[in-house]
Structure 1
Amino acid sequence: MNKTLRVLLANTVLIAAGVAAVGSASAEEVVIIAPNAPPPVRYEAVPAARVGYVWDHGHWRWDHGRYVWVAGHWQAERVGFHWVPGHWDAFGPHYHWVPGHWA
């Protein structure tokens, strides 16, 4: 194998390794698990629609051993996507928070 091809191959491997390292660092996720079910949802008045935004309803957040209400808020719209609200899923005797996301 000539020197040029070896250098090109080595650079390709280094770039691929760098991209993999950056991708794995940003994929880190915090998992929230609560020992009991959240309280009933609080119903909030939804404000009038805003162009370019979607309403993210309020939800219960597990914080230092107790549930705390997080009020609803506007999310800037992403063209070509729809907002999937966060929710609590039963996981055996515990509850797991699934964060809201764009799909």
Structure 2
Amino acid sequence: MKKLLIAALIAGSLGSAAIPASSAVIIVREAPPEPRSERTPPPRRGYVWAPGHWDWRNNHHVWVRGAWIRDRKGYHYTAPAWQERDGRWEMQRGNWARGRRDNDGDGVPNRHDERPNNPNRQ
């Protein structure tokens, strides 16, 4: 009986291993609400501001406030964003990418871009 109980406990602990929610791909049919207006604080040395965003929790959108995260040398931070694809919404989690900085996301590294912070990129 003890062996059966121990085997059940081991099997149960292996079966309950969960993937962190931050690594899961989220795809939903409901569009996120418009982003909320947040005051961006002044820059802090050694930190990057991660702006607030809508997350998907318990079958509905939940606002996550912006926060400071420690900077990583040699990496740049991409904020979380929702993208619509074929009538469904997919959340791209915030992440760190190694390599060249491209502030406006136009594919041209800042050091070669005439206007690296152009919010109206084509």
TM-score between both structures, scaled by the size of structure 1: 0.69
Instruction: Name 2:91's counterpart in structure 1.
Output: 97
Root-mean-square deviation (Å): 1.4
- 1:87 equivalent to 2:81? Answer yes
Distance 2:92 2:66 in 1: 16
Runs of 4 or more off by more than 2 Å in structure 1? Answer: none
In the alignment, which of 38, 50, 54 is matched to residue 48 of structure 2? 54
Give 1:86 shift: 1.1
Which of the residues 69, 72, 85 maps onto 2:63? 69
Question: CA–CA distance in 2 between the matches of 1:53 and 1:36?
Answer: 33
Q: How far is the alpha carbon of 1:74 from its aligned partner?
A: 0.6
Query: Residue 97 of structure 1: CA displacement?
Result: 0.6
What is the alpha-carbon distance in structure 2 between the residues aligned to residue 94 and residue 44 of structure 1?
Answer: 26
Structure with the higher helix share, 1 or 2 = 1
Give secondary structure in 2 for the equivalent of 1:62: strand
Relative contact order (C-alpha < 8 Å, sep 6+): which is higher?
Answer: 1
**Identity in percent:** 39
Unmatched runs of 5 consecutive residues or more in structure 2: 1-18, 98-122
Q: Which amino acid aligns with 2:62?
A: V
Match of 1:43 in 2: 37
Letter matched to residue 89 of structure 2: Y
Give secondary structure in 1 for the equivalent of 2:75: coil
Match in the other structure for 1:4: none
Give the number of aligned pairs. 76
